[in-house]
Structure 1
Amino acid sequence: MRTEVRSKGGSGPSAGRGRLSQSCHPDEKAVTKVRALPFTSHARSLYSLIMKTLSAILFVLLFQTTFTFSQQKTEIYIIGNIHDSVPNYHPQILFNILDKVKPDIILHEVDSKGMEEYIKEANPKGNEIKASNQYVQKYPNTKRLPFDFEGRNQYRKDLGMVPTDNLTFRLIDKLYKEEKLSPTESKIYEEFSQLTNRLMKIAEGPPEQFNNSKTDKIAKERQTAQYHRGLLKIVNQRTEFKENYVTKPNQETISYQDGYALMCDFWDTRNKTMAKNIFDIANTHKGQTIVVLTGFLHRYYLIEQLKKLNKGSYTIKEFYQL
């Protein structure tokens, strides 16, 4: 006896098989989709979590790097120098200091034109340039920049400050030796000379001796006596300085008194300009080590001005405190 299975909705075996095929295939897709959906959803969630985590890590790293850089203050070393080589202070001593500090930038007490001549000079003689050249040979990536009042030498000549400053000083000394100064004037000149002699004695020692706050104080007293009180007082109250003249490059004449007064004002202008130039360079090159090479009589003024200008972006250090 033959038994035949028929599917509903069709006739014959082929209809049944077709119906079975149609009914099973969609079920397989359904099963596949049901099984794939949880996997795809999980993968997407995992991918999203990973990306969020990576983004968070990158943000933290970027923030830490930026924060660290912003917290890394510029270091400025004001090194007072004796310009000419002497037994107690010569280019090798200064080079050793530079090699200890390892500056990224060295600033020289010259203007832009002077800097070009400074570097091109075949046989330089000054302590600063010789030591600087030696340092750059060892560390070629070091930057060297000028920081002085632009056109300072010609400016002083054009206005008559030079040579009236030296001529004025010589005349004071002459009047003193000839005992023509009043007792008060003589005392002023003697006190100025004593301060000068103290500094000259200090300059005979190691560089640490003329690069400290105690010497800075004496230097300030001496320069104040020269440009703001003592000698200026003598010049202003004696007729000899009104009656002696020099001729400026433009052929105009200027008295010793007027020329010396201009030089006194320029002492402040020049030092404030130099300090501002150092400040601007420090802000341009943040996070770097800067060495300022200057005559040690300028040191106190530059430090005072840089402290006033500082908004917390740099620290002023001494080379011997490393």
Structure 2
Amino acid sequence: MFCFARFRLPVLLLAAPLLGSPAPRLAAPATELVIVGTVHRPTRLFNPDSVAAILARVQPELILVELDSSFFTPAFELKTPGRENEDLGVARYRRQHPAVRLRPFDIEGRNEFHRRHQLLTRPGEVLARLDALYQSRQLTPAQGTILDRYYALTDSLTRYNQQPPAVINQPAVYALAERRQHYQFQQLGDVVAARPELSEYQAFCRLYADFWDQRNQAMARHIRQHLARLRPRRVVVLVGHAHKYYLLRELAPHAAAEGFRLHEYYQLGPGS
């Protein structure tokens, strides 16, 4: 009997921790993240009703809007009602779904930065000066080609502003926006840098291009922070459609590790 017990004891000691082991934890379901490229001014085919209909289709728990925290109260309500397409559509949806959360995701101090550096007016001055050089045949052929291509891409992208949401939110449009923004911030900047008569604008063009990158990177970072902090089941991000390619590029590499999946709004519905 003594030998029997001596050989049984190690088996019992090894087995004991297994009896008290917790059940394996199930992974939390991935957050469904929907980025909707928008137009800020209502059109016949993309208006506040369109925004409200997209939200009703997706039924998000969280809506992220293209504003910074200065527009919000500590309770995350807008200080003043907005007047753009997205603001009006969100307000209509939240009247029926008051529990849905609203958060800002734009870079902090956006509007003040715009005012301080004249980002809403000075790019037009630069383009007017470039156009004057073009019309007077002072640009080199290569520089003239860059300006021609920029105008063509801008015209093509602007035409999409009159289309419905399902047309705007297509990969071909994101690719077009990426090409157009490359010409605006890199190619035109290179032309300005090469023209001595535009030296007064060279530092501005660098700042303008840098802010485009910094702003989009901050947007993507804030989106990820909201997902990590709030862990919503579904999120809709409303953003001007020229930003969408950049956000997709920034967010996609983090999706698997951070537990979210990117979807188009028309891929989801209330029952999915």
Tell me which amino acid in the other structure corresponds to 1:208.
Answer: A
Task: Give the equivalent residue in structure 1 for 2:265.
Answer: 319
Task: Give the equivalent residue in structure 2 for 1:223.
Answer: 181
Check conservation: 1:219, 1:300, Cα contact below 8 A. Answer: yes
Tell me which amino acid in the other structure corresponds to 2:62.
Answer: I
2:245 to 270, 279, 300: 300
Deviations 1:116-172 (A, max 9, x none): 5982335x3211000011111110111111101100121244356564333212222
Tell me which amino acid in the other structure corresponds to 1:170.
Answer: A
Task: Give the equivalent residue in structure 2 for 1:252.
Answer: none
Task: Give the equivalent residue in structure 2 for 1:278.
Answer: 223
Task: Give the equivalent residue in structure 2 for 1:155.
Answer: 113
Tell me how far apart the structure 2 counterparts of residues 162 and 127 of structure 1 sit (CA, whole Å).
Answer: 19
Task: Give the equivalent residue in structure 2 for 1:30.
Answer: none
Matching of residues 137-216 of structure 1 within 5 Å: 137-159=95-117, 161=119, 163-216=121-174
Check conservation: 2:77, 2:102, Cα contact below 8 A. Answer: no
| Alignment coverage as a number of residue pairs | 246
| Cα gap change, 1:91 to 1:185, in 2 (>3 Å) | same
Tell me how far apart the structure 1 counterparts of residues 178 and 261 of structure 2 sit (CA, whole Å).
Answer: 22
Tell me how far apart the structure 2 counterparts of residues 212 and 308 of structure 1 sit (CA, whole Å).
Answer: 20
Tell me how far apart the structure 2 counterparts of residues 301 and 125 of structure 1 sit (CA, whole Å).
Answer: 25
Structure 2: where are the runs of 5+ without partners? 1-18
The alpha-carbon deviation at position 115 of structure 1 amounts to: 3.9
| Cα gap change, 1:258 to 1:73, in 2 (>3 Å) | same
| Cα gap change, 1:260 to 1:157, in 2 (>3 Å) | farther
| Cα gap change, 1:82 to 1:309, in 2 (>3 Å) | same
Alignment TM-score, normalising by the size of structure 2: 0.83
Tell me how far apart the structure 2 counterparts of residues 239 and 188 of structure 1 sit (CA, whole Å).
Answer: 18
Tell me how far apart the structure 1 counterparts of residues 117 and 140 of structure 2 sit (CA, whole Å).
Answer: 30
The alpha-carbon deviation at position 270 of structure 1 amounts to: 0.7
Check conservation: 2:71, 2:80, Cα contact below 8 A. Answer: no
* Root mean square deviation, CA, Å: 2.2
The alpha-carbon deviation at position 100 of structure 1 amounts to: 0.4
Percent identity reads 29
Task: Give the equivalent residue in structure 1 for 2:14.
Answer: none
Tell me which amino acid in the other structure corresponds to 1:198.
Answer: S
The alpha-carbon deviation at position 84 of structure 1 amounts to: 0.2
Q: Which moved more, 1:233-242 or 1:173-182?
A: 173-182
1:81 has 2:26 as partner: no
Task: Give the equivalent residue in structure 2 for 1:260.
Answer: 205
Tell me which amino acid in the other structure corresponds to 1:314.
Answer: F
Tell me which amino acid in the other structure corresponds to 1:109.
Answer: E
SS in 2 for 1:203: helix
Tell me how far apart the structure 2 counterparts of residues 118 and 156 of structure 1 sit (CA, whole Å).
Answer: 24
Tell me how far apart the structure 2 counterparts of residues 186 and 223 of structure 1 sit (CA, whole Å).
Answer: 17
Tell me how far apart the structure 1 counterparts of residues 138 and 111 of structure 2 sit (CA, whole Å).
Answer: 33
Tell me which amino acid in the other structure corresponds to 1:318.
Answer: E
Tell me how far apart the structure 1 counterparts of residues 102 and 206 of structure 2 sit (CA, whole Å).
Answer: 33
Tell me how far apart the structure 1 counterparts of residues 264 and 252 of structure 2 sit (CA, whole Å).
Answer: 14
Tell me how far apart the structure 2 counterparts of residues 159 and 85 of structure 1 sit (CA, whole Å).
Answer: 28
SS in 2 for 1:298: helix
The alpha-carbon deviation at position 195 of structure 1 amounts to: 1.0
Tell me how far apart the structure 2 counterparts of residues 270 and 108 of structure 1 sit (CA, whole Å).
Answer: 14
Task: Give the equivalent residue in structure 2 for 1:288.
Answer: 233
Bigger relative contact order, structure 1 or 2, given CA contacts below 8 A and separation 6+? 2
1:101 to 58, 73, 92: 58
Task: Give the equivalent residue in structure 2 for 1:4.
Answer: none
Check conservation: 2:30, 2:259, Cα contact below 8 A. Answer: yes
| Cα gap change, 1:160 to 1:96, in 2 (>3 Å) | closer
Check conservation: 2:36, 2:239, Cα contact below 8 A. Answer: yes
Of structures 1 and 2, the larger Rg is shown by 1
Tell me which amino acid in the other structure corresponds to 2:138.
Answer: K
Deviations 1:155-205 (A, max 9, x none): 244356564333212222333234332221111011111111111223322
1:241 has 2:198 as partner: yes
Tell me which amino acid in the other structure corresponds to 1:83.
Answer: H
Alignment TM-score, normalising by the size of structure 1: 0.71
